[in-house]
Structure 1
Amino acid sequence: MGRYSCPFLFGQDDLAERYISISDLCCYLDRYMAETSKGSQGSSREHQRDKKRDDLITQSLRDTIAAFAVRWLPITSSDGLDTSHRIQTMWRQARRDMLRIINRPSYRSMLSLFLFALTPIPMGISEDEEADGVSGQVCIHAALQQVQSLRARHRNLQFSGSKVTPSSSSIPMSSAPESADTSSFINAENIAYWAAITFDTSASLTLNCRPLLSSGLFGFESEFTWKLVRTCLNVFNESSKSWCQGSAEMTDERANEIIAAAACWKLMGWKLAANFKEALRDGHDESEVRKALSYVSNSWKEFDATFRPFLDECYKRMQFLGQQTKLRWFSLMLHSHLSILMVLDTIEVADRYDLLADLKDASIEAENTVMNALAFGLHNTITLRRTIDSPCGSETIRSVTFTVPLLAFDPYPHHIVASVQLMRKAIDRDYRNKNITQDLYDSLNATLESALKHLPQSSKSIQAARQKFSAAPDDEILEDTQVPYRELPALLHG
């Protein structure tokens, strides 16, 4: 969300920090909007009511953050401490609050809804309880609708069968558009909007739903946001021409600049992959399907030509980079190529094997990169330090450290699960086609299984993925020879 990743602020050192606390940013936006909309007007009773509402929104955000983060509690807890009950309790408490959050539009509420959508359903939650409440997908759509209403400067008449909301005055802004306060607010609002675009794009790709903040298929070509992303790619191309090639010039700051810029373009790749899935899913004309697929292919080629050489230099210098930089590099490499695997899976499910030839190089590159990224996330570690209570009367600050694989702390473990499942299909295919030996097959599967073992084990989805992974014996793989896709890639892979 910083200045090298948000297209609204790309490279503008005086407008944004390199790293952004999204929770602090949402608090700032809500505070600014409250101050500019009412100021000192209103009765004391109204101020008390507004303060109570504000406190409830803040508490809801804190509870949601706790429910989101508690999955990592076992890593920093004492051995043998049962955290499952605490995880279930916090998830239930956050979920009960979601309807109230939906009815209290604010940027903090938006963040609460997004975070709960990323919070895994814990083990011990029955299917009946899971179905009896708000789902993550509903939270995402509600958050996106809140963003749309919060960005609207004019409150015109709105009505539905359940409620009529009269017009209200516009939110006043500073009389000087160039003032520091107004500029900071606009920048912060743009960062929050880019975060919402990220969720909207991800949901349209992974949940097979249409985007709410941007148009589908080819409408993106005329949208300001995606034009900015394209401009950022061109700016990066120009600015990077003066950089010296070689890992010796790869500082931690330079590496993070490259990773952030590549992450901005990665979202374009996800957008185009979602558009292709929409074209295939909704039965668009063949010409539109082919056009959407060509956009996916060209996007991958541009990523490879623009960023891959620099990302490879980052990898050569990896042992000299900070652990947070390593985590960002791992996350980028995994997620940027996951979209290609998802496109290939969509083609297989739709029985459109004639489209695979257009992604021959991309499919090989994606499978190689995702597998290498998973291995990187397993073999590289991140160290955390936690302060612990000191003995009574002691002023010494005591702490304990924990070292775990990088992928154990990826904030999107469901993407790792999806990567493992898609790579398992690719490995099974290559094994059946005799492209890999038994020893290599076992080694690759061991890497995938190890990746699942290091993810937060309180998640129902992760536990289900582990059970499914271990329940697929080799005999089933050898017997299944009827799916054409599993033969065709043997030709694609040479």
Structure 2
Amino acid sequence: MENVDSRWLDTLYREGFEAVFGSWMGRYACPFLFGHNLADKYVSISDLCRHLDGCIVDTGDSQLVGRSRDIEQSLQSTISAFAARWLPVTSPEPNSNEDHCSLVQSLWRHARRDMLRVINRPAYRSMLSLLLFALTPIPEGISEDEEADGISGQACVHAALQQIQTLRARQRNLQFSGSKVSPSLKSQAIVTTPESIETSGFINAESTVYWAALTFDTSASLTLNCRSLLSSGLFGFESELPWRLVKTCAKMFDENARQWKQGSSDMTDERANQIIAAGASWKLLGWKVTAIFKEALRDGHDESEVRRAYLAVVDSVKQFGIIYRPLLDECHKRMPFLGQQTKLRWFSLMLHYHLSILMLVDIIEATDRQDLLSDITDICIDAENTVMNTLAFGLHNTFTLKRPLDSIEADGLTRRQSVFTVPIVSIDPYPHHAVAGVQLLRKAIDRDFGIGKITEETYQSLLSTLERTLRHLPQSSKSVRAAIAKFSTATDDNSVHPSVLV
């Protein structure tokens, strides 16, 4: 690929993924940074990982410097594979579908082959490469055999979480397994200067990366049938520092918000982003307690434990409704006057949070626990309404990207730009969440239409919104194309259990 393409793919990654994820890692969302006024509001996770790797690598060791260069190249190739799905909506002269599909497949295959090397090079950037590859959709055109003949996204997440544990430990003791005994020689040990460890900046940076890993870990434990690796499950999670900090930060945020002027007239872009970021922190707690409820049902725990986990989910939803939802609704009223990245962050939060409630309902139905649904009827209806309205918001609000074009003229280098304006849903860094939301909403509206709760006109209008959402998502994704193909043939009794990350 030409350098300009690599730079543009990096820009797409930063404008989309890091605009959203960076808000979750900033001082308004990350519980480890809450109240640190000198901490950044938005954090580039890739730059942060580079900074941390720089702190723990001995620049005088040529072997380690070369290894660091390989780690950086792997991260860049993963970012390119991750962002390639958005090239069609930002190309001044779009290539044919075949050319774009071939490019996406090539980048994905290259990144996937590299993942085994990434696993064997523990570093903060390696951890990020593994997590980003897990978020990279399998391209359309990849056969089932090829898909099975290599590492999976779920395995990459688990490897990344293992790396963050190793990096945080920084131990040099003897380590061994059945395949290898590895005494941690001094020359191979992770080098961290005393000065870097003692600074609050290093500690904050390391804590932020841990919060990022915990975000992926929590998501995987909910959307996939696996246990959390960084956090306790049904027994013990309440005593863990991150979740206690989230609850404390929520109380502090609520106390501060009560001092604000009521209504949307005082809703600035700055305040809206503070509200959205704070809500995103509670969203992760909501995903955590929902994952624990799923664990209680899946592992056959006593009914008292199932009930306790269920009530924790209900309480989490109620607290979100009291502390954050009114403020998020005020943000929505003021949305025409807010920035496009603020709109993208609001869209992402509202979709992700309420998607977890739809998944809760799906879990209850899949385990035939209809007795639990009666207590959350209003919560379920509100979640269905909100996800539908959020998808409509993503279709009707736009995001503008400016792609620089270099041209050499008589008087030297001239800078030009191509401007692309697309629906927010098209540039959403988590399109798999939209796919899951569409599938679960399809079940809901089929149900309501079947019992005569909505008219045929309304039913067709809702279906149109869902179908338009799918068609605005990256069409190079195998999952998106499969969802579109399945959409028209979905039936009332389909059991949808989506697998999504973060």
Q: 1:177 to 1:95 in 2, by over 3 A?
A: closer
TM-score normalised per structure 2: 0.90
Q: Say whether 1:427 aligns with 2:434.
A: no
Contact preservation (8 Å) 2:445, 2:459: yes
- Residue type of the alignment partner of 1:50: L
TM-score normalised per structure 1: 0.91
Q: 2:422 aligns with which of 376, 392, 404?
A: 404
SS at match of 1:97: helix
Q: 1:95 to 1:176 in 2, by over 3 A?
A: closer
Contact preservation (8 Å) 1:340, 1:363: yes
Q: 1:168 to 1:365 in 2, by over 3 A?
A: farther
For 1:440 and 1:274, locate their aligned partners in 2 and report how far apart those are by CA, in whole Å: 33
Q: Deviations over 1:306-351 (max 9, x none)?
A: 0011111101110000000000001000101110100100111111
Contact preservation (8 Å) 1:383, 1:402: yes
Contact preservation (8 Å) 2:237, 2:243: yes
Q: Deviations over 1:51-100 (max 9, x none)?
A: 22111111000000000000001111223443111111000000000000
Q: 1:13 aligns with which of 28, 37, 41?
A: 37
Contact preservation (8 Å) 2:55, 2:192: no
SS at match of 1:396: strand
Contact preservation (8 Å) 1:385, 1:400: yes
Q: Which residue of 1 aligns with 2:71?
A: 57
SS at match of 1:445: helix
For 2:481 and 2:271, locate their aligned partners in 1 and report how far apart those are by CA, in whole Å: 38
Q: Which residue of 2 aligns with 1:487?
A: none
Q: Which residue of 2 aligns with 1:486?
A: none
Q: Which residue of 2 aligns with 1:31?
A: 54
Q: Which residue of 1 aligns with 2:264?
A: 247
Shift of 1:243: 0.5
For 1:171 and 1:414, locate their aligned partners in 2 and report how far apart those are by CA, in whole Å: 36
- Residue type of the alignment partner of 1:79: P
- Segments of structure 2 that go 5 or more residues without pairing to the other structure are 1-24, 496-502
For 2:201 and 2:444, locate their aligned partners in 1 and report how far apart those are by CA, in whole Å: 48
With 138-147 and 170-179 compared, the bigger mean Cα shift is at: 170-179
Q: Say whether 1:464 aligns with 2:482.
A: yes
Q: Deviations over 1:121-156 (max 9, x none)?
A: 001111111000000000000000000000003232
Q: 1:446 aligns with which of 435, 447, 464?
A: 464
Contact preservation (8 Å) 1:154, 1:168: no
For 1:162 and 1:177, locate their aligned partners in 2 and report how far apart those are by CA, in whole Å: 34
For 2:229 and 2:124, locate their aligned partners in 1 and report how far apart those are by CA, in whole Å: 17
For 1:54 and 1:332, locate their aligned partners in 2 and report how far apart those are by CA, in whole Å: 35
- Residue type of the alignment partner of 1:242: Q
Q: Which residue of 2 aligns with 1:216?
A: 233
Shift of 1:389: 3.0
SS at match of 2:401: strand
- Residue type of the alignment partner of 1:409: I
- Aligned length, in residue pairs: 465
For 2:328 and 2:319, locate their aligned partners in 1 and report how far apart those are by CA, in whole Å: 14
Q: CA RMSD, aligned part only?
A: 1.7
For 1:167 and 1:64, locate their aligned partners in 2 and report how far apart those are by CA, in whole Å: 29
Q: Which residue of 2 aligns with 1:491?
A: none
Shift of 1:398: 1.2
Q: 2:347 aligns with which of 306, 321, 330?
A: 330
Shift of 1:178: 9.2
For 2:475 and 2:410, locate their aligned partners in 1 and report how far apart those are by CA, in whole Å: 38
Q: Say whether 1:229 aligns with 2:246.
A: yes
Identity %: 65
Shift of 1:259: 0.3
- Residue type of the alignment partner of 1:53: R
For 1:79 and 1:465, locate their aligned partners in 2 and report how far apart those are by CA, in whole Å: 24
Q: 1:79 aligns with which of 94, 110, 116?
A: 94
For 2:209 and 2:125, locate their aligned partners in 1 and report how far apart those are by CA, in whole Å: 10
Q: Which residue of 1 aligns with 2:83?
A: 69
Q: Say whether 1:125 aligns with 2:139.
A: no
Q: 1:289 aligns with which of 284, 306, 310?
A: 306
